[in-house]
Amino acid sequence: MKAKDPVRICVPVCERSLEALKESASLAALEGELVELRLDCLSSDELRAAEKGLDSWLPTIASPVILTLRPLGQGGLRRLDQGFRFEFLNQRKGAAFLDIELELGLWAEKHGGLDWSRIICSHHDFAAVPSDLEEIYGRMAATRAEILKISVHPEDATDCIAVFRLLERAQKDGRKMIAIAMGPAGVLTRILGPSRGSYLTYAPREDKGATASGQIRAEVLKEMYRLEKIDLTTQITGVIGKPVGHSISPAIHNAALDAAGINGVYIPFEVGDIRAFIKRLVNPATRELSWNLRGLSVTAPHKSAVMELVEPDVDSREIGAVNTIVIDEDNLKGYNTDGPALVQPLIQRMGSLKGLRCAVIGAGGAARAALWGLGREGASTTVFARDITRAKPLAEIMRADCKPLRQHSFAEFDIVINATPLGTRGTLVEETIAMASQLQGARLAYDLVYNPSETRFLREAREAGCETLGGLQMLIAQAALQFKLWNGQNPALDAMTGAATEALD
């Protein structure tokens, strides 16, 4: 078996002034195996000053340096003459590599020669994954560049197949290559690329230092995703949805994998076309990527649509949604861990739920899981919704009463559950589905929103004298059930809880 190539993290640095560039470069060298200086970020005056000032401190940077000076249209901020860019970069002898696009490389070869041994020959498409990607690679591979680099922007995680194919081709050709997909849909290439032959992966030292969409902070790649341990045998799990960038599930599951000593990684997959993703990347009979994919979490908007693409178990069929896929040899099996996990914290807090009067506010997937879980435990349930016509069919299926929300009092209920997104961090954070005056008399208020941990709904409930329960316990409980389905063992709940709490801070 071929020895695994070293994992290289390149930390990009983008600053307006030369002094700030120097300071940031020194810090970046502490994080990565290489440092990229984005000279195109410098102001015009500072760029001119860099012609004289840069050479004096380039050798002091502790990691090898890549110099990049992009024009407008290739990620740069201004129009720059080809001749100026070539001369500027070519004279910087203290840099290990010069990143130039193919067109500039061919121009330079005609107008003065080029030391290809330190050239990264690059191509960027900031809008799409071009259909002629293989042809572009062929033109680049015809040069004597030391490293080839192609960076594209997929709309869907499935589009990343083309990027991994480039890495396979480069390895067969004996060429060093950096292949990256930008944006939320390309995150998997930043995590899995190095294990599949990518010469490096870019990662900023701080989130605000990202120079391209989808870059993951270097510390996160090292600590949470354990990048250095990923190889071709690594077990892959992840969450599919759109969007998924806000999800803290990667933090929770990767902490559990680490605590269990499992060679595995959990990745966010931005998926719009669920059918194409399942066919081309998941189903063992049809998938186009050879990888050790074990299972997936499923989140909005795919929990219902995915049911016809897997073999759902009885609970999933009753709830009407799948949130967990297990790949069992050639079969895709669907489960729902939301329902059982939702009632788990209630049982721990209140004991038996049998006969308790429970109000569930909402008529979506979370409400459906809540009604199913409560009904299985023998609770008496009532659905409250602003749109009563939407709620009535759900109430009938789940054998629950149904009432319009309006300004209803919940004094007669033992448990009131917010199963809507109101209160979620972002534009909805200051909203609540019920005020303190409505919640007075209820025993416990349960908010399925977990971010933030202290929602307005919970504050209103506390003011009304209710006991309160946040959504984080449910999130961890359903993740723990998923972990057991994939790995056949219970996870370390303390590791999961610690990772979730840190991710929410």
Instruction: Show which residues are catalytic.
Output: 303
Q: Which residues contact 289 (CB under 8 A, 6 or more apart)?
A: 161, 164, 280, 281
What phi and psi, each to the nearest 5 degrees, are found at residue 121? -90, 115
Q: How many residues does the chain have?
A: 505
The DSSP output letter for 208 is G
Largest CA distance in the chain: 85
* 121 vs 149: CA distance, rounded Å: 6
* 139 vs 361: CA distance, rounded Å: 59
Burial state string for 24-46 with b = 16 or more CB within 10 A and e = fewer than 16: bbbebbebbebbbbbbbbbeeeb
Asked if 33 and 8 touch (Cβ cutoff 8 Å), the reply is yes
The candidate with the shortest Cα–Cα distance to 34, out of 168, 184, 198, 248, is 198
Cα 197 to chain centroid, rounded: 21
Backbone torsion region of residue 440, taken as left when φ is above 0, otherwise alpha when ψ lies between -120 and 50, otherwise beta: beta
* 476 vs 322: CA distance, rounded Å: 17
Burial state string for 307-331 with b = 16 or more CB within 10 A and e = fewer than 16: bebbebeebbebbbbbbbbbbeeee
Element (H, E) at 400: none
* 181 vs 214: CA distance, rounded Å: 8
* 105 vs 15: CA distance, rounded Å: 25
Question: In this structure, what token pair is assigned to residue 241?
Answer: 């949805």
Cα 464 to chain centroid, rounded: 38
